[in-house]
Every structure is written in structure tokens, then in C-alpha cells.
A and B are shown apart, each in its own frame.
Chain A
Amino acid sequence: MLPLIQREVVDRKGWIDEEEFLNMIALAQAAPGLIAVNSAIFIGWRIGGWRGVCGAVLGAVLPSFLIILAIAMVFREWKELPAVEAAFKGIRPAVVALIAAPLFKMAKSARISWLTALVPVAVALLIWLGHVNPVWVILATILITLCSIYISSYRSSK
């Protein structure tokens, strides 16, 4: 989605420049929440303050909202049809594959090593088999990282 945003906001409208766009991506990805919505808030604020934010967020959310609302209204009855149910039997494993396959690229771009691979393995096992809520795993990641840097910097300063 980011190349699409870049073409519209930087190249076509010239609302922000290339460098600011890169800063925006860094912030939108670092902050929690949906990246598309975060980007919309940033751009909306830069060009139009509160009104800009309202417009940009509505623009980012409304198309999805309306499309899914329309689908949700008919989906349950529609799915009772034997042909649709049969099609979904084929689609479900494909969806799981579409979730799993990007892991390969994510691991590569995070420059994962055998040692750091222990983190995602532990996370996946905790949630999958331990049924730990992902919220706790995310909080634990943040806390453990902050503490370990604090301890190591404290040690090196002594």
C-alpha cells in the first residue's frame, strides 16, 4: 500500500516531500495501529490540521468499511449455498498459506540469525500452544528489551 500512498501524496499532489515521506513511514510503522491509518493521520495533520486529519482518516477507512459492510450483510445467507461452501473449503487452506508465506520475506528483511530466530519461535509457541494473549507478548518484548539495554549500559558505565 505504501507505494500507492507515495505516488498520490508525494508525486501527484506534492503535499509532502520525499524525505518527509520516509520519516512518515518510519513513524507510522513504529507507532501501534494500522499503517495506512497512521500515514493518513500524519499527512492530514501536516496539510490541514484537525480538518485534514478528519478528512484523511475518513478517506482511508470509509471505502473498506462500506465494502465490508455490504458483504457482511449478505455473507451469512450467501454462504449457506452448497457451491459457495465448497469453494470456501478450498479457500481456507489457501488463506492460511497466504498468512504463512510472507514469513519467509519478513525473516529475510529483518536479517534474522539462528540466535534471534529464537524470539519468533518462542512467541509463536507461547501464543499457539500456551494460548498467551499477544498483548502480553508485545509488552514483554518491550520491557525485556528496555531492561536489557539499561542493565548493559549500567554495567559498561561502571
Chain B
Amino acid sequence: MLYLHLFISFFKIGLFGFGGGLAILSLIQMEVEQHGWMSQQEFVDIVAVSQVTPGPIGINCATYVGYTVGGLWGSVLSTFAIVLPSLIIMLSICKAYFWLTKRFKGNPYFEQTLRMLRFTVIGLVASAALLLMKPTTFIDFVSWIIFGVVALLTILPNFVKNKVTEIISHPILLIVLAGFAGYLIYA
């Protein structure tokens, strides 16, 4: 039964995961929360690990959640389940490649739906961040300072583009620094 739930959840995440890694987070979070598979803290921690390790965030989350819930086979099954919808849909697309590019390029239904989904995806990413802003992750005012500093440094290259801002806005560096700050403050 557990394996069936894992499979259905991650199949759903793969099937409705539009718009890349961050947009998929709110879907994963909702599934994990509804099944009570892990605490919110643990979910944030695994996102942190995903940010500093290579590879797609969706695969990382699927493997981790699968392992903690169902061991080795759980992780294999979840990872397979998140990839399966892609396999079915992308292979159909490949088989009909020429037919599709002729028919869908410039098709108002298709283009407009994709445009609207881009706006929805922005909302999905925002909700993923909002859902994580809870007392379990933001324990005191220091948390808000870390949040503010990291957010500012991340969007800085949009305004001042040079080598320095590029380096200090790197997510891996920021996570390492935040971890170091956490160690100094809370340990």
C-alpha cells in the first residue's frame, strides 16, 4: 500500500510539474504533507541538500522522500514514478515531432495556455516559499535577517552585474555561509 501511494504521488508530481525545479516544490510539499511522510523542517533540509548537490531538484526530492519512507526500493520506485510521465509524454512528442511543430507552432490555444501557465508557475514558486515561512523554519529574528540578506544577494546581479556580485550570489556559497552563521549563532 505504501509503495502504491509513493508511486501515485510521484507520478502525479511528474505529470503536473510544469515550469522546472522550483515550481515542482509546492507539488512535492503538498504530497509529502498530506501523507505525513516528513516534517516541514525535514523537507526544507532536503531542499537545502538539493541546492548544494548536482542534478534536478525533482529527482533529488523523489529519491530522498522515497528512501526515508520506503527504504531502497522506495527510492527506486519514487524516482521511476517521477520520470515515467516524462517518458510517456516526451516519447509521444518525439514520435509526432514534425506533425507537432507544424501544428502547434503559432496555434493560439497552445501558445496562450503556455503563456498563462508561466504566470501560474510564478504563483506556485511563491506558494512554495510562503508555505515554508513557519515558526519551524523561522525560529527568531536572526532567521529573518538571514532570509533578507540571502534574498538580496541573490537578486543583486539583476541590478549590478559584475564578477563580484556573480560570485556572492551563488546558491552553494550562500548556503554554506548561512550554515556557518547558524553554527556560530545557535551552537
Contacts and interface: CB of A to CB of B under 8 A. Distances in A.
A13 interface: no
B67 A41 contact: no
Given A64-B53, A92-B41, A103-B126, A32 B151 contact: no
A41 B138 contact: no
Q: Tell me the interface secondary structure of chain B in the complex.
A: helix
B89 A33 contact: yes
Interface in A81-115: 82-83, 85-108, 110, 112
A14 interface: no
Contacts of A37: 56, 59, 83, 86
Contact residue range for chain A?
Answer: 35 or more
Contacts of B187: 82-83, 86-87
B99 to A, nearest CB: 13
A96 B147 contact: yes
B6 interface: no
Nearest to A73: B67
Q: Tell me the interface secondary structure of chain A in the complex.
A: helix
Given A31-B89, A42-B90, A89-B186, A96 B129 contact: yes
Contacts of A33: 14-15, 17, 82-83, 85-86, 89-90
Interface of B: 12, 14-22, 24-27, 30, 41, 44-45, 47-51, 53-56, 58-60, 63-64, 67-68, 72, 75, 79, 82-83, 85-87, 89-91, 93-94, 100-101, 108-110, 112-114, 116-133, 137-139, 142-144, 146-151, 154-155, 158, 171, 174-175, 177-183, 185-187
A38 B143 CA distance: 37
A64 B60 contact: yes
B16 A145 contact: no
Contacts of A146: 109, 113
Contact of B122 (A42, A88, A103, A128): A103
Contact of A65 (B79, B100, B113): B79
A128 B146 contact: no
A134 to B, nearest CB: 5
A95 B48 contact: yes
Given A110-B119, A123-B119, 12 more contacts: A32-B18, A33-B89, A45-B90, A86-B183, A87-B182, A89-B139, A89-B182, A92-B138, A93-B150, A94-B147, A134-B124, A138-B117
A3 interface: no
Query: Taking each of B19, B128, B129, which has the highest tally of chain A beta carbons within 10 Å of its own beta carbon?
Result: B129
Interface of A: 1, 23, 27-38, 41-42, 45-46, 53, 57, 60-61, 63-65, 67-69, 71-73, 75-76, 79, 82-83, 85-108, 110, 112, 116, 119-124, 126-128, 133-135, 137-139, 141-142, 144-146, 149-150, 153
Contacts of A124: 123-124, 126-127, 130
Contacts of B131: 127-128
B58 A91 contact: no
Ranked 7 nearest A-B pairs via Cβ: A90-B182, A123-B123, A64-B55, A33-B86, A120-B123, A94-B178, A101-B154
A86 B146 CA distance: 14
